[in-house]
Chains A and B, each alone.
Chain A
Amino acid sequence: MKESRFKRMKDLPSTHLLGTGTPMCSGCGGLEALHEIYDILGSNTVFVNAAGCMTLLAVYPFTPFRGSWLYTAMASAPAGAQGIRDALDILIEQQRLPASEDLQVVVLTGDGAAYGMGLSSTSGAMERDLDFIYICYDNEGYGNTGQQFSGATPHAARTATSTGPHGFAGYKKDLFSIWAAHKPAYLATVIGAEPLDLARKIEKAKQLKGPRMIIALAPCPTGWDYAPRDSADIGKLAVATGVWPLKEYIDGQVVHTKIPKQRQPVEAYLERQGRFAHLFEPRRDEQLLQELQDSVDSYWADIDS
């Protein structure tokens, strides 16, 4: 694969394609990532959407997309992508549509769909080697309904359905590994707060064929309980503390694309978010804080060595 054209920040696209004035919350980390992704994918795309926050991007008669859009349902956006991809292939093959009219088919779902209800249709699409890009904006809970916990919610986070003293009792599902087990053409984690890393990965995905899977951690002011202006900082901290490893899977290998040299303590990330406030007040929950730090350390122990 040829070297990325995105070497430094000033190489990133300066014209922005996604329209403004959407109903997304102010400071939405998912929208931040989507802006950056769309600038690289461009308007020769059809976004196939699953029920979630971003379903509200296209509200009749408005859309921020210059390209096309199809809303499906919560569970089956990848199957919608299958139908469109196959139809476009058929039309081009039969010369009912010139190849210049072809579109990149892009699934857009939240973590609620990707980690849970939509997992079966996502697995099916990868198994059929569907030529598509899949973007999961992961705000670690059912955000559009007021942040109840989902399969993506991290341990100890307070959500609308985990309000006890220790927060969410479960653990964030390792969707990256579940997807990697399907051996897709490409798989990467990204975050809007690291736009250069994101741009390189989307550029790479764009050039490949087959299932290209992207999980974007999406800091969420309303769901994670912090001020919208802090979104980029919290995103950077997610990477700097090692909580959100930036990595890609390609040709059977997992490569970390941005290994924090001196990982900051996880606390630095947690203390900025109201959903973890119970770990610090009324008194520090040392045991739980240590558990969260250990879990991150144990992940990186394998990588560092």
Chain B
Amino acid sequence: MTRTLLTGNGAAAWGARLAGVDYVPAFPITPQTEIIETLASWIEHGEMPGRTVTLESEHSMVTAAGAAAASGVRVFTATSSQGLLYAMEMIYTVAGWRAPFVMVNVSRGLASPITLEPDHNDIMAARDSGFLQIHCASCQEVLDSVLIGYRLAEDHRVRLPVIINLDGFYLSFTREPVEIPDAQVVAGFLPPYEPESTRFCASAPVSQAVTVLGGSPYSYFRYESHLAALNALTVYDEAAKAFAAACGRQHAAVEGYRCDDADIVFVMLGSFASKAREAVDRLRDAGQAIGLVRPRLLRPFPAAHLQRLLAGKQGAAVIDQNLSMGLGGVLHSELSSALYGKPGAPSVLLSFIGGLGGRDITPEEFYEIAAVTRQAVKDGVTPPPRLLYSRDEDREIRKLQAIAHAERNELESGQ
């Protein structure tokens, strides 16, 4: 097996290339740009067929992507953060068109304050849109998930667009050894896109995305999208199984790591879960029965998988790399609703916020989270959600504030 060093962005581009995409509407944004640059270069130099077009905004980019998918070609696009939010009207709109395509989102924290580094508030904003979501923790997973994404999106039981999420910097710019599957193997796994009636042509006129009057037809079409998204649970499992058969790599909807005999678990999304995984190994070395649960699929929400993995656990600590202002962690609240009243569900479900704007989560913090979780299990009381922030960081921010004050005083005193 040959493996090539690829960044997460390079892996995403390879996924699109192997999927044989016809059309790549694009717009640059850090830390995603390398994906579209790579594809544009391959297309321009004849290394892959297809056509790329740079739109004047992400809003237009997603419109063009949806319209082309609704016209019957295989479409790939990519964005990040502010771009995803700028496109948000169309994210919801094209999902309602039931136009299947794959979009990579390279997660990056949202303004304000503006930053380039990753967290999941951008992708969480697309949570209720109708796009399905797959979250990746390695560059290999990025490539594989793009291929699985097309199979999922285009399945006639689903017909919804899919977002493949990877974390900016941690995956986008990090080189890892990646196996690039053989084109013929991919062709066996992913048949050509069969648009059926989702297309425009002279002999079969069609009206797509028309207005409805009243709540009844509106509800009908919204329910249809929801039911299609739920179908994606089964279709995902089938696709992952077929992918494992073709390429030999397992990508379960929810990955359980050292969970079987664990009495407490961390629950995390994305590449920061690799940090949790490392902490699990260290804690295991120290004799603790701890595991990691990492949902890859976030939409549809794999509730049954999570219930199964968490059944019989004493406690779970959800570490959210996002923050819903005035509520807390999104995954924590979603997991709570999936577990509530379910037999064998952990009696305590703790919430931690960390990794915002690329802030590291240190091994010591994971150890502390484990200790707090054990204490909660012992006390039978769930502590309030905790925002991870260290004394050192607090000291550093005080320094920055002191500088800001000094600068302002200097300006005001006219020196």
Contact B64 A68 (CB under 8 A): no
Q: Bound state CA distance, A17 and B22, in angstroms? A: 34
Q: Which of A159-215 contact B (CB under 8 A)?
A: none
Q: In the complex, A63→B207 CA distance in Å?
A: 8
Contact A69 B208, CB 8 Å, known A83-B25, A88-B200: yes
CA of A103 to CA of B205 in the docked complex: distance in angstroms? 10
Alpha-carbon separation in the docked complex, A48 to B93 (Å): 14
Interface residues of B in 206-227 (CB under 8 A from A): 206-213, 217
Tell me how far the C-beta of A71 lies from the nearest C-beta in chain B, rounded to whole angstroms.
4
Q: Which of B23, B71, B75 counts the most A-chain CB atoms under 10 A from its CB?
A: B71
Q: Which B226-248 residues sit within 8 Å CB-CB of chain A?
A: none
Asked if B208 and A90 sit within 8 Å, CB to CB, the answer is no
The segment out of B55-63, B116-124, B385-393 that lies at the interface is B55-63
Given known A60-B210, A71-B210, contact A91–B56 (CB-CB < 8 A):
no
Bin the interface of chain B by size.
Answer: 35 or more
B203 within 8 A of A: yes
Say whether B67 contacts A82, CB under 8 Å: yes
Q: Are B93 and A73 in contact, CB atoms less than 8 angstroms apart?
A: yes
Q: Which listed residue (A69, A79, A123, A127) contacts B207, Cβ 8 A?
A: A69
Q: How far is the CA of A84 from the CA of B65 in the complex (A)?
A: 9
Query: What are 9 A-B residue pairs whose CB atoms fall within 8 Å in the complex?
Result: A60-B211, A60-B217, A79-B67, A82-B64, A82-B67, A83-B65, A83-B75, A91-B72, A103-B201
- Residues from chain B with a CB closer than 8 A to the CB of A303 are none
Q: Given the complex, which residues of B lie within 8 Å of A228, measured CB to CB?
A: none
CB nearest to B213 among chain A residues: A59
- Cβ-neighbour of A86 out of B64, B202, B208, B210 (below 8 A): B64
A68 in contact with B63 given A59-B211, A59-B212 (CB within 8 Å): no
With A66-B205, A71-B209, A86-B23 in contact, do A79 and B63 touch (Cβ < 8 Å)? yes
Q: Interface residues of A toward B: which range?
A: 35 or more
Chain B residues within 8 Å of A96, by CB? 72
Give chain A residues whose Cβ lies under 8 Å from the Cβ of B63: 72-73, 76-77, 79-80, 82-83, 121
The verdict on A102 contacting B202 (CB below 8 Å), with A69-B207, A86-B51, A87-B72 known, is yes
Contact of B71 with A79 in the complex, beta carbons under 8 Å? no
A84 touches B68 (CB 8 A): yes
A124 in contact with B56 (CB, 8 Å): yes
Q: Which of A89-103 contact B (CB under 8 A)?
A: 89-91, 94, 96-97, 100-103
Judged by a CB distance under 8 angstroms, whether A75 is at the interface is: yes
CA distance A209 to B211 in the complex (A): 31
From B56, B89, B210, A59 is in contact (CB under 8 Å) with B210
B370 sits at the interface (CB 8 A): no
CA–CA, A46 to B67, complex, Å?
11
Given A60-B211, A91-B71, CB of A82 within 8 Å of CB of B55 = yes
CB nearest neighbor in A for B52: A86
Contact B207 A58 (CB under 8 A): yes
Q: Are A56 and B211 in contact (CB under 8 A)?
A: yes
Q: Report how far A97 CA is from B73 CA in the complex, Å.
A: 11
A67 surroundings in chain B (CB, below 8 A): 202, 205
With A70-B208, A83-B66, A86-B53 given, is the CB distance from A101 to B203 under 8 Å?
yes
Task: Specify the chain A residue showing the minimal Cβ separation from B192.
Answer: A96
Q: Name the CB-closest residue of A to B59.
A: A76
